[in-house]
């Protein structure tokens, strides 16, 4: 199957040819023709499935036939739960917009940074990628109008419908015109997502992409039994002794992420933290330095980690296990992508044993367990 067989044409195909996309991913095969046909779409898919291009490409193609929007009236609204995801989605829009004959201006807006520059950039924008709070601020400031929105995308809807966003989402949905195309992506189909799909989507094309079983076969999983006090030294030992590079470490709290980074640095390992209490600038820089290999370790708390796409990540370390098996699968799924073999290391304290068994059972894959108390950690 080729991208042209999905109904994409002209300049978009030229840009795809120049990209590293050779054939469409399954979600793209299913979603692109449906979106081009103006259908509502429900996609159960995670980051890594290729879901972003599956809505960006057909939306850009639809814009080729659209009349221009009135000033400050956007036509397509993409709602996302985090700033990182907002930037990623926006970069895909920008990349595929380069050669279009009818120019389409897209913009990303999110909180945590000054609102004024965003207000000024809104001039002429037709596609907006936004987090809910900042979108409402802009609408309330009359910097932006939603009355011409005819395409709505909810990306990572399960996160968007979290308690923290619920009221804001309700307000936004109430402001949109009723006649529009709705596209909703979610990693899971829980109760909240189910309710909103019933409410929002009309006769949707439903696409479910389950995490590829074989994909987990490309990931080597090792569980280290370790006591609390030895987690830090063990991490540093593994990084130094095994010469690990581009290591993504997960902690369960912001505080722990900061303290792990601090200890890595005083032991001569370059590291930065990525979490919700960092400024937007610091988060963007951390991700950039990590992607380019300028730092060895990125330590992320779960909240900030959702949706971050770093292709071909070699090593993921669960410094602390997440509470939910789904989050574990999501974390571990960041390695071993696209045919590359990945390594997923999990630190398992005595109190985590039972929980780790539950996680592995859910995943259907078992880690090799290593007793770390035989490892000499002196000097780490």
Binding interface with ligand AMP (CB under 6 A): 20-21, 24-25, 28, 47-53, 309, 311
Residue 190: what are its φ and ψ, rounded to 5°? -80, -175
Of the pair 92, 299, the CB lying nearest ligand AMP is at 92
User: Please, which residue, 143 or 274, has the CB nearer to ligand AMP?
Assistant: 274
User: What are the C-alpha distances in Å from 177 to residues 22, 35, 58, 167?
Assistant: 37, 19, 21, 18
Cβ 314 to ligand AMP shortest distance, Å: 15
In angstroms, what is the minimal distance from the CB of 203 to ligand AMP? Answer: 25
What is the smallest separation between the CB atom of 48 and ligand AMP, expressed in angstroms? 5
Q: Residue 40 or 84: which CB sits closer to ligand AMP?
A: 84
Which ranges in the chain belong to alpha helices (H)? Answer: 10-18, 26-36, 51-63, 83-97, 115-121, 132-140, 157-160, 163-175, 191-200, 213-217, 231-241, 254-266, 280-292, 302-305, 325-332, 353-363
Nearest distance, CB of residue 72 and ligand AMP, angstroms:
29
Q: How far apart are CA 44 and CA 35, in angstroms?
A: 15
| Shortest separation between residue 311's beta carbon and ligand AMP, angstroms | 5
Q: For the beta carbon of residue 263, count every other beta carbon within 10 angstroms.
A: 17
Q: What angle do CA 298, 161, 32 make, to 5 degrees?
A: 80
* 176 vs 189 by CB, closer to ligand AMP: 189
375, 233 in Cβ contact below 8 A?
A: no
> How buried is residue 45: exposed, middle or buried, by Cβ count under 10 Å (0-12/13-18/19+)?
buried
Task: Provide the minimum distance between the beta carbon of 323 and ligand AMP in the complex, in angstroms, as a whole number.
Answer: 24
Nearer to ligand AMP, 47 or 335 (CB): 47
Of 108 and 118, which CB lies nearer to ligand AMP in the complex structure?
Answer: 108
């Amino acid at each position: 199957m080729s991208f042209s067989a999905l109904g994409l044409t002209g300049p978009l195909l030229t840009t795809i040819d120049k990209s590293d996309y050779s054939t469409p991913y399954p979600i793209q095969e299913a979603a692109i023709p449906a979106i081009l046909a103006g259908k509502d779409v429900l996609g159960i898919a995670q980051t890594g499935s290729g879901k972003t291009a599956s809505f960006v490409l057909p939306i850009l193609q639809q814009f080729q036939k659209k009349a221009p929007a009135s000033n400050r009236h956007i036509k397509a609204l993409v709602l996302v739960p985090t700033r990182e995801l907002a930037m990623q989605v926006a970069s895909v829009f920008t990349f595929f917009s380069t050669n279009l004959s009818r120019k389409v201006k897209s913009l990303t807006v999110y909180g945590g940074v000054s609102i004024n520059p965003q207000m000024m950039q809104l001039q002429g924008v037709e596609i907006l990628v936004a987090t809910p709070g900042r979108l409402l601020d802009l609408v309330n400031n009359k910097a932006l109008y939603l009355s011409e929105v005819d395409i709505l995308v909810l990306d990572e809807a399960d996160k968007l419908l979290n308690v923290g966003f619920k009221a804001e989402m309700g307000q936004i949905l109430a402001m949109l015109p009723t006649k529009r195309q709705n596209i909703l992506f979610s990693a899971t189909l829980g109760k909240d997502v189910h309710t909103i799909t019933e409410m929002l989507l009309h006769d949707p094309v439903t696409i479910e992409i389950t995490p590829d079983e074989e994909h987990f076969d490309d990931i080597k999983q090792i569980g280290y039994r370790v006591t609390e006090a030895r987690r830090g030294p063990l991490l540093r030992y593994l990084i130094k002794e095994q010469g690990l590079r581009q290591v993504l470490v997960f902690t369960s709290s912001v505080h722990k992420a900061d303290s792990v980074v601090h200890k890595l640095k005083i032991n001569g390992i370059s590291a930065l933290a990525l979490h919700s209490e960092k400024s937007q600038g610091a988060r963007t820089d951390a991700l950039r330095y990590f992607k380019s290999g300028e730092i060895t370790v990125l330590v992320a708390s779960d909240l900030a980690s959702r949706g971050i796409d770093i292709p071909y990540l070699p090593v993921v370390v669960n410094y602390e296990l997440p509470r939910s098996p789904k989050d574990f699968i999501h974390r571990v799924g960041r390695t071993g992508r696209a045919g590359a073999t990945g390594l997923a290391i999990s630190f398992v304290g005595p109190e985590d044993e039972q929980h780790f068994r539950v996680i592995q059972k859910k995943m259907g894959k078992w880690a090799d367990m290593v007793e770390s108390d035989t490892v000499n950690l002196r000097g780490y």
